[in-house]
Amino acid sequence: MPFAHRPSLSSSWQAVVDFDGTISCDDTTDRVLQRFAEPGWEAIEAEWQAGLISSRACMTRQVALLRVSPEVLDTFVTTLEIDYGFPAFALLCQRHGIPLTIVSDGLDRTIRTIMRRTGFDHIPVIANRLEPTGGDRWRLTSPHSAPDGACSSGTCKCRVAAKQPRPLTLLFGDGRSDYCLAGEADLVLAKSGLAAHCRQARIPHHAVTDFAEAAACLEAVLAGAPLPRQPEDKING
C-alpha cells in the first residue's frame, strides 16, 4: 500500500469525495425513495443489506419504483442539506490546487441539483445516471461500473480514481461504496461505516465526523504531518 512516502507538494494530490452521508447530511437516495417510491423498495434494500444482491442491482430495481415528475423531484431535492463545513473544505482544496471530484454510488441528478443550489456546480460529479423515461417514470444506468463485474457498486471508485491524473489520492467517505478505494488511497478520511470498516480491516485512516475535521486533517498533512501507516506487524507480514 502507498503509505511509505509523502511528497510535500500539494499538486501531487487529488480528492475523491463521497456524496450521500458525507457531503449531504442524509442519504439523499433514501430520502427520495422514502418520498416517491412505490411499496417494495425497502424489501429490495433488505436484500442488499443481506448481501443477496449487488448495490447496482438494488438501485436499478428501486429507481424503477419511483413515481415522480422531474420538476417535483428537483424541487424536493433542493430542500436537502449538506455538511456546513463542505464549502470551506472545497475552498481549501482549491487554494492548494487539489482537484476535487464528487464520486458517488448515488444519483447524479440529485447530486447536481444540490450542488447547483449551494453554488458548487463547477465541481465534477461522477455517479449513476438517473434518467427520466417519460411522465413520472425513471431508470438507472451505471456508466462508471467495473466492466468485469468485479465491483458490486454502480460506480466503481477504484476505477474512477485510477483514471485521475494525480499520483496521490485522498478519499473522504462513509460507507460500503468506499471500501475498495479505502484500501488503495494514500489518505483516507473516514466517517461512520467506513471508519468501522477501516478499523476492522486495519486500513490506515483518520476517523472524522464532518468536513471541519476533514479539513483540519488535510491541512495538517499538507503542512508536513505524516500519513497514517499500516501496523508494523502487517507491514512485516
pLDDT on residue 231? 46
Helix (H, G, I), strand (E, B) or coil at 148: coil
Question: What residue ranges define each of the domains in the chain, with the CATH number in brackets?
Answer: 10-232 (3.40.50.1000)
Kind plus residue range of the DSSP H or E element containing 14: strand 13-17
Per residue in 188-198, pLDDT tens? Answer: 999 999 999 99
Position 61, amino acid: R
d(CA 99, CA 163): 13
Question: Can you read off the three cell numbers belonging to residue 237?
Answer: 507480514
Using CB atoms within 10 Å of the CB of residue 189, give its burial: 0 to 12 exposed, 13 to 18 middle, 19+ buried.
buried
DSSP 16-32: EE--TTTTBSS-HHHHH
- For 100-186, list the strands marked E by DSSP: 100-107, 125-134, 137-141, 168-173
pLDDT on residue 149? 66
Question: Can you read off the three cell numbers belonging to residue 136?
Answer: 413520472
pLDDT on residue 2? 39
Any alpha helices (H) in the chain, and if so which ranges?
28-36, 41-49, 55-63, 70-77, 86-95, 108-118, 157-162, 179-182, 192-201, 211-222, 232-235
For 66, phi then psi, to 5°, come to -70, 140
d(CA 94, CA 89): 9
Confidence category of residue 165, pLDDT binned at 50, 70, 90: confident
Per residue in 1-48, pLDDT tens? Answer: 333 344 445 678 999 999 999 999 999 999 999 999 999 999 999 999
CA 147, 148, 149, 153 dihedral sign is: negative
